[in-house]
Structure 1
Amino acid sequence: MDYKAVEEIVRRAGRMIKEAYLSSDSVQHKEGDANFVTSYDVAIQKFLIDELHGIVPEAAFFGEEETEGNTREKELDGLCFLIDPIDGTTNFMFRYNYSCVSVGLAYARKMIAGFVYNPYVDEMFTAVRGEGAYLNGNRIHMPDSTLEDGIASFGCARYNDPNTDLLFRVVQEMFNRSLAVRCGGSAALDLCRVAAGASVVYLEMKLNPYDYAAASIIIEEAGGVITQIDGSKITLDQPCSILGAAPKAAGEVRDMIECIYSSTDDEEKLRR
């Protein structure tokens, strides 16, 4: 596998984000509140599928947007790229400059490589199973920090609104125990910031596999853990909750969530 060629394709896709010019007719609504797709989301996914197919013709593709060549979760048993062409579309629409291209590669339903690129600051996070995690070619390894040692981060989206009230109860508790709380608007980038040691934890109640696939292996190769909020394995064929963190912080947040669950009697609902 020519991972350098994959990385270069992801970089080229990132340049498409940075050079984009959005007009009012470039944005369309998708199902759910405040859920958008732009013409660039579609164009970049088409570009990625075409280019990646050229170097890995046997691979399937599970992308966010409905484009030609996207087999979604139907072909995860072999090689499969999981693609979010613009993670942080709302940020992109408002020139918030915190969006990325996220491309993960799975084999037999297990992640084997990940590439997350923020073109605005030229940050390329990469990982290959068993070979470590890197930021712009430099090895990264997160310290095993506790909540009180660092920044806690989280994500939420109005189109994934179930459990929002309980999420913010957890965020309030993280705020009380950590140095600060952040919400960046790009799950892939926020997870990679955990891998790089900039945050100690990232929490979100519901994400799709292409949102976290690439970042999941980057976190693991950097010495962190990524699970669902109840500690079970993440899924690649359907949405799930996400807790990515340094090992000590992950344990603290799971204990915190369990305590909140027990006081609300909504445990089963939150785990969906």
Structure 2
Amino acid sequence: MTNWNEIDHNAKKWVQEAGELIRQSFATTLSIETKSNPNDLVTNIDKETEQFLMGKIKEVYPEHKILGEEGSGHDITSVEGIIWIIDPIDGTMNFIHQKRNFAISVGIYKDGVGQIGLIYDVVHNELYHAVKGQGAFMNDVQLPKLKETRIEEAIISISPSWVTENRRIDYRILAPLIKRIRGTRCFGSAALECAFVASGRISSYITMRLSAWDYAAGLVLLEEVGAVATTVYGEPLNLLENSSFFAGERNVHQQILDEYINK
């Protein structure tokens, strides 16, 4: 039988060690490369952090699969078995320009079901973590179940990509929604935005394009506090496909679907 608490203990230790290596890198000069376009960036620290985590995982759990954003690990074509889904620096643009508002994200899944989620805000030393069925925590403080929120009281993080990348929904529906809610935010790190929904700092997070490594850890946290996560159209998420992403407190999530997207 898989000892998830042991795996969680090791994963937290490795993530925090990786975070310390990132903090030490602040005084060094970054090597920055572009990937798919000039705004899709990767640094030597992204790659080194991923390699550090991969080395630890392979040493202790050689039978586990690994899916890393920077191309390390296995070519995953199915969700069978135990898979570590890693984003070594989620929010690379923020890391390069701000040295803040980024996170290490590690989700551990078995047969497509999230078992462990870790999101480490390196600069603020805030580790959001959860083991399936055991609640979600920020460092040593347990996160309470989310309270029902009226849409008029909601703060929603909305990625501007809605305007340029949406194909099925007219972005102009956002205008009345934005007028109705309490406020909007955009942090530039999907992992942190999932953590902020789970901790109640924001009510919902909506974006039009994510990969599994962006939200795998966040899904575990969100489930433990009673939040809902789907595509922006209310459909189930698929770890093997890029898709839109819509997470939030259950009432806000349903209201937005019913009154603005699926009306």
- Structure 1 residue 19 corresponds to structure 2 residue 31: no
Shift of 1:96: 4.5
Distance in 1 of aligned mates of 2:60 and 2:36: 33
- Structure 1 residue 188 corresponds to structure 2 residue 191: yes
Contact 1:60 1:79 (8 Å CA) reproduced: yes
Contact 1:200 1:245 (8 Å CA) reproduced: yes
Structure 1 window deviating more from structure 2 (146-155 vs 98-107): it is 146-155
Equivalenced residue count is 255
Residue of structure 1 equivalent to 2:211: 208
Scaled by the length of structure 2, the TM-score of the pair is 0.90
Structure 1 window deviating more from structure 2 (147-156 vs 83-92): it is 147-156
Structure 1 window deviating more from structure 2 (73-82 vs 165-174): it is 165-174
Scaled by the length of structure 1, the TM-score of the pair is 0.87
CA 1:52–1:248: 2 relative to 1, 3 Å:
same
Shift of 1:258: 2.2
Question: After TM superposition, where is structure 1 displaced by more than 4 Å over at least 4 residues in a row?
Answer: 164-168
1:249 to 236, 248, 252: 252
- Structure 1 residue 60 corresponds to structure 2 residue 65: yes
Residue of structure 1 equivalent to 2:230: 227
Shift of 1:110: 1.4
- Structure 1 residue 142 corresponds to structure 2 residue 146: yes
CA 1:246–1:45: 2 relative to 1, 3 Å:
same
Distance in 2 of aligned mates of 1:157 and 1:18: 30
2:122 to 111, 119, 126: 119
Structure 2: any 5+ residue segments left out of the alignment?
none
Shift of 1:37: 0.6
Contact 1:146 1:252 (8 Å CA) reproduced: no
| One-letter amino acid of the structure 2 residue matched with residue 195 of structure 1 | A
Residue of structure 2 equivalent to 1:239: 242
Structure 1: any 5+ residue segments left out of the alignment?
260-272
- Structure 1 residue 109 corresponds to structure 2 residue 112: yes
Contact 1:219 1:226 (8 Å CA) reproduced: yes
Q: Deviations over 1:132-176 (max 9, x none)?
A: 111112111221213212311123569x95228957535434321
Distance in 2 of aligned mates of 1:41 and 1:173: 39
| One-letter amino acid of the structure 1 residue matched with residue 238 of structure 2 | T
| One-letter amino acid of the structure 1 residue matched with residue 133 of structure 2 | G
Contact 2:79 2:112 (8 Å CA) reproduced: yes
- Structure 1 residue 84 corresponds to structure 2 residue 87: yes
Shift of 1:230: 1.7
CA 1:96–1:253: 2 relative to 1, 3 Å:
farther
Shift of 1:53: 2.1
Residue of structure 2 equivalent to 1:73: 76
Distance in 2 of aligned mates of 1:93 and 1:49: 23
Shift of 1:124: 0.6
Contact 1:60 1:76 (8 Å CA) reproduced: no
Aligned CA RMSD, in angstroms, stands at: 2.1
SS of residue in 2 equivalent to 1:214: helix
SS of residue in 2 equivalent to 1:73: coil
CA 1:17–1:170: 2 relative to 1, 3 Å:
farther
| One-letter amino acid of the structure 1 residue matched with residue 60 of structure 2 | I
